[in-house]
Each structure stands twice: as C-alpha cells, then as structure tokens.
Amino acid sequence: GAVVSQHPSWVICKSGTSVKIECRSLDFQATTMFWYRQFPKQSLMLMATSNEGSKATYEQGVEKDKFLINHASLTLSTLTVTSAHPEDSSFYICSALRGRHNHGYTFGSGTRLTVV
C-alpha cells in the first residue's frame, strides 16, 4: 500500500534554532502534500498545502516565514520551523494526496517537536 515516511519521529531543539521535517512518499507520486499541527488531545489544524513545483498555500494565521514549506519533487516535501520557540512545540504530521482518488490520503507517522 501507499506509504509516506516522515522523519524525524521526534526532535528536541534549542530555542532559536531551526528544525527540518521531511515527508517522503515511498511508492507513489504525491501531487499535493498537506501539513498539519496538532496540540495534545486536540484536532489536526491544517497549516499549509503544497503542490510540487509551486509555492505553498498557507492557512490564515500561519506565518509563512516561520514555517517554510518546500515541495521540490513529487515524492518529497519538507517543513522547516525557523527560529523555533517553546510555543512551537507540537505534533506535526503530513498527508500526501495520491492523484485524483477520492480518498487517496496517506499520512506520515508524525513528528513530535519539543523546543527547550
């Protein structure tokens, strides 16, 4: 079946540093990738949508300069949290859309980010 590999699964970083999270579709080409953020016991909130070769579309209230998204190929999308602060600590999860299938979403396993 379709697999999206997300790395790292967890990361601890110091305040002010940047962290890059990768999502790779292993056996299919992801036309679109979605990035979500989730606080403990809360819903998944969409941060941005990225399409291969074009700029990401950010949801209202998401700082595009802080959360840099790059979708350089059909199999790789990255989220970079720049100048991370403790309030950025959260669970980040990506989802890849496989072509035009009605329910062709595959999620990565998520990244737990802790900023100290």
Partner 1 sequence: AQKITQTQPGMFVQEKEAVTLDCTYDTSDQSYGLFWYKQPSSGEMIFLIYQGSYDEQNATEGRYSLNFQKARKSANLVISASQLGDSAMYFCAMREGQLAGGTSYGKLTFGQGTILTVHP
Residues in the chain: 116
Is position 14 an interface residue for partner 1 (rule: CB under 8 A)? Answer: no
Cβ-count burial of 92 within 10 angstroms (0-12 exposed, 13-18 middle, 19+ buried)? buried
The alpha carbon dihedral of 32, 105, 24, 110 has a sign of positive
Point out which span in 12-20, 40-48, 62-70, 77-85 binds partner 1 (CB under 8 A).
Answer: 40-48
Residue of 53, 65, 103, 116 that binds partner 1 (CB under 8 A): 103
Q: Are 56 and 66 in contact (CB under 8 A)?
A: no
What's the closest the beta carbon of residue 16 comes to partner 1, in angstroms?
26
What's the closest the beta carbon of residue 108 comes to partner 1, in angstroms?
8
Pick between residue 14 and residue 99 the one whose CB is nearest to partner 1.
Answer: 99
Residues at the contact surface with partner 1, assessed by CB under 8 A = 32, 34, 41-46, 49, 51, 54, 57, 91, 93, 95, 97, 100-103, 105, 107, 109-110, 112
